[in-house]
Every structure is written in C-alpha cells, then in structure tokens.
Structure 1
Amino acid sequence: MNPKKPYSADMATSTKVLLLIIISIIISSSIHPSSSSDPTPSPWPHQFHSILIMNYSGANQIIDLWYDWPNGRNFNIIQHQLGKLLYDLEWNNGTSFFYTLDSTEECRVAHLDVGILRPNWLDGANYLGQEHVDGFLCNVWEKVDFIWYYEDVVTKRPVHWVFYTGRSAHVMTFEVGAVLEDANWQAPAYCFENKDAEKNPKTHPVIADGYLETSVQERTLRDSKLA
C-alpha cells in the first residue's frame, strides 16, 4: 500500500483561493442582479393631479397637470414666470387646444396622430440604475432616447423627468385619484370660430409662445415612438 500523502500547505492555499472565488461570485451576483430582475417603472394612475416646476433653457414655468385616462383627456395649465397663463388641453382623438382665458382670446388648435399618453407608456424603458435627484433616491429609466424618467425607490411616485429637448420637470405634488370637474375641460368658444388657425390673427401670440412650439415638437416625436 502506498502511504497516505500529507495535506500540504500548497493544497490548503489552493482550497482557500477556490473558496474565496466562489464567495466572490456569490456576493457579486447578489449586488449586481441580472437584467431580468431590473425594476420596472410604475404605470401612471388612471387619474391624478400633479404640480410641476418646468425649466427649459432657463425659462421657468409652473404646470398644473390633470391626467384623466378614463375620459381620454389631459390638461396642462401653464403659468409662465412673470408672464401669461396658458391652457394646454389634449384629447385622446389627437386634438389639442392651446389658449388663454384673458381679453386677448388667443387660441391655437393642433391635430396630432395620437392622443394622450397611455398609463403604461413607460413599458419597455431601459433601466439605467439609481440616482439621487431633488433629495430622493430614484430608479432611472430611458425610453427611446425621448425621455429620462426618475421614480422614487420607496414610494414609486415620479420625481423628475427630462425630455430629449432638454425641457425638465420637477414633481412637487402627486395626488392619485384627483379629478377636475367636467366644466373646466371645455375650450372657449373662440377656439372654434375659425378652424384655419394660421389665418386667425388671434392665434399668433400663442403660436410664437416657446412652450407651444416645444410641446408640439415633443408630442410629434412622442407619437412616432411611444404610441
């Protein structure tokens, strides 16, 4: 019989190294989960009210946003800093009204291919990881190079988003289930007086408005990518 070989120091070292490699792999896989376990953005509630602070190229706005998916409508009431109050009313048939309610009676009607965003419009977004934004730890997604979306890790509420144009939104309030009364969704009569908006002199101040131009540009790209 051959005598039993002693357990050498080299063998002990090799065993320890192997164990360390196995432990390292286990820890690494737990810290860096596979893409299949990446978090997904929460669908938008079917109805909500939110106050947003918007910035675009240094211009500030406060937007009073009402989202009403069951009734196929979305309303942005925009207060420009030390400027006009503009109403941006979207319907799911692709029609949008941009108007004021002051004595100028400005109105512009736009017809786009697709209506308002569906609640699950962020499906398929690319997960980018986590980032602190506005004091909140957020999961971050990017969708078709159109929008970067930040959602609070704990509450799942939206915190911030940035459009490809550079226009950004900071979410100040988010009231799930809040609904605006039906009477407030009616565009004024002067929006229907002349269907040819380009020939209506009352439309020109709104057409020149930076928000309208940027919004229509964003929605046109949105229609082609997020529909």
Structure 2
Amino acid sequence: MKKSTVSPITVLFVVAAILISYYSDVSSAESNSDPTPAPWPHQFHSILFVNFTGSLSLIDLWYDWTNGRNFNIIQDQLGELLYDLEWNNGTVFRYTLDDKKKCSSALIDVGILRPNWLDGATYLGQQFIDGFHCNVWQKVDFIWYYEDIVTKRPVHWVFYTGRSIHVMTFEVGAVLEDAKWQSPVYCFDKKQVHDHPASANDILEIGSKGILREFILPRNCVNSSARCS
C-alpha cells in the first residue's frame, strides 16, 4: 500500500496562504486603529507664529529634552524681546537683555514637556489647516494638536485659552549653543529678582507666553497623561 505524499509545492502554497492571511489580519487591524501623534524629537528648533485674540508674536523655540531645558525667545509685535527659559527641575526665568535688565523667576511643580506628552490624546480625525492635510488630536480638553499626515511634523496647535500656534519651521536635531542658555547675572541679584513658588491654580505671570506652558494645572495633567477636571 502506497503512502500518500504531499507535494513540496503544495506545502509552500499552504504556508504562503497562512502567512498572507496572518499579515492581512494584522494590516486590517492596524488600518482600523486610530493614528497616534509622533513623539517630539529630543532636540529641535522651531519658529512659531502666535495669535492670541489679535495679539501677535513670533517665538524662537529651542526644545532640548536631552539636556533638560526649553527656551522661548518671544518677540511681541512692536514690543520688547522676552526670554523665557525653563529647566527640568521646575526653575523658570523670564528676562530681557536690554537696558531695563528685567528678570523674574518661579519654581513650578513640573519640568518641561516630555517628548511623549501627547500619549493618550483623543483622535478627532483629519482636517486641512494652514494648507496642510493633518491628523488632529485633543489632549485633556487643554490643547488641539495638528500634525501633517505625511511628514508627521507638527503644523498647528490651539490652547484652550484660544492661543493659536502656527509652526513656520521645524528643524529636528538643532541645538542652541550652551552659552545662550545662561541667564544674566542680574537674575541672581536678590534685589532684582522676584522669586515665588507657583501654586496649581495660579496663572504664571512669569512666562505666561511660553508656548509649552499656559497654566500650571493643565500642564500637570498633560505631563502625567491624566484627565483633569
């Protein structure tokens, strides 16, 4: 009695069919899941155009998670040039470099935003904004975030306060030289500096225009991926 044999070609077809079925299921599952925002690069430079109820400004943003620091250099329309410097230990300095030599500081409960601060954001769908086709997310009723669907670069975001941010440039890996991160000496003059701890419900007068910090409470929620009321 002859034993039945299976052709090697038949085996290959069966294996191929199993693999195709498996990867089709995986692909289908992935296509049915909502997209997630790309984590921020650990270091980047961005120029931002800001509109807050008609008040305009340009911000030179240097994000440097690697070294635990973030810098907003803020030019108000026909106004003064302000430097808003944040450190991951919660220290914030806000100062000018003109003859007025103004400086104030604060200590907040959280450091700079983590690269994955958008984890847990709710996907809202796709929308055209500033001429770009974007995926849109909302995070803890605090921020609406628009990301180009092709390049994954941030295009636009809007805070719950109405402050609208338009991303003009986005340079991944750009780093500001260390000497530029040093606050001026008069920031450490006790007669000049206004130091204060910031409570969870306070509006930070110091650095209130810093793009990564609108209010302390929502920022705590964003950094912790919590949902706050």
TM-score, length of structure 2 as denominator length: 0.76
Counterpart pick for 1:98 among 69, 94, 97: 94
Counterpart pick for 1:68 among 64, 67, 73: 64
For 2:45, the aligned partner's letter is: H
Q: Which residue of 2 aligns with 1:221?
A: 218
Q: Which residue of 2 aligns with 1:112?
A: 108
| Cα deviation, residue 168, structure 1 | 1.1
1:77-96 equivalences under 5 Å are 77-96=73-92
Work out the CA distance in 2 between the residues paired with 1:125 and 1:208: 27
3-state SS of the aligned residue for 2:118?
coil
1:182 aligns with 2:178: yes
Q: Which residue of 2 aligns with 1:137?
A: 133
**Number of residues of Structure 1 aligned to a counterpart in Structure 2:** 189
Unaligned runs of 5+ in 1: 1-32, 200-206
3-state SS of the aligned residue for 1:82?
coil
Contact persistence 1:127–1:140 (CA under 8 A): yes
3-state SS of the aligned residue for 1:71?
coil
Kindly provide the CA deviation profile for residues 44-94 of structure 1, in whole angstroms up to 9, marking residues without a partner as x. Answer: 000000000011111000000000001000000000001000000000000
| Cα deviation, residue 137, structure 1 | 0.4
In structure 2, the CA distance between the partners of 1:65 and 1:118, relative to structure 1 (3 Å rule), is: same
Q: Which has the higher helix share?
A: 1
In structure 2, the CA distance between the partners of 1:191 and 1:221, relative to structure 1 (3 Å rule), is: same
1:39-58 equivalences under 5 Å are 39-58=35-54
Counterpart pick for 2:189 among 188, 193, 197: 193
1:151 aligns with 2:130: no
Contact persistence 1:128–1:141 (CA under 8 A): yes
In structure 2, the CA distance between the partners of 1:115 and 1:102, relative to structure 1 (3 Å rule), is: same
Contact persistence 2:105–2:195 (CA under 8 A): no
In structure 2, the CA distance between the partners of 1:140 and 1:119, relative to structure 1 (3 Å rule), is: same
Q: Which residue of 1 aligns with 2:164?
A: 168
| Cα deviation, residue 219, structure 1 | 3.7
3-state SS of the aligned residue for 1:183?
helix
Identity percentage over the alignment?
68
Work out the CA distance in 2 between the residues paired with 1:215 and 1:49: 13
| Cα deviation, residue 223, structure 1 | 1.7
3-state SS of the aligned residue for 2:126?
strand
3-state SS of the aligned residue for 1:180?
coil
3-state SS of the aligned residue for 2:215?
helix
For 2:34, the aligned partner's letter is: D
For 1:146, the aligned partner's letter is: F
Unaligned runs of 5+ in 2: 1-28, 197-203, 225-229
Q: What's the C-alpha RMSD, in Å, of the aligned pairs?
A: 2.6
Structure 1 residue runs of 4 or more that deviate by more than 3 Å after TM superposition: 33-36, 207-217
For 2:43, the aligned partner's letter is: Q
For 1:218, the aligned partner's letter is: F
Kindly provide the CA deviation profile for residues 154-194 of structure 1, in whole angstroms up to 9, marking residues without a partner as x. Answer: 11000000011111100000000000000000011111111
Structure with greater Cα Rg:
1
TM-score, length of structure 1 as denominator length: 0.76
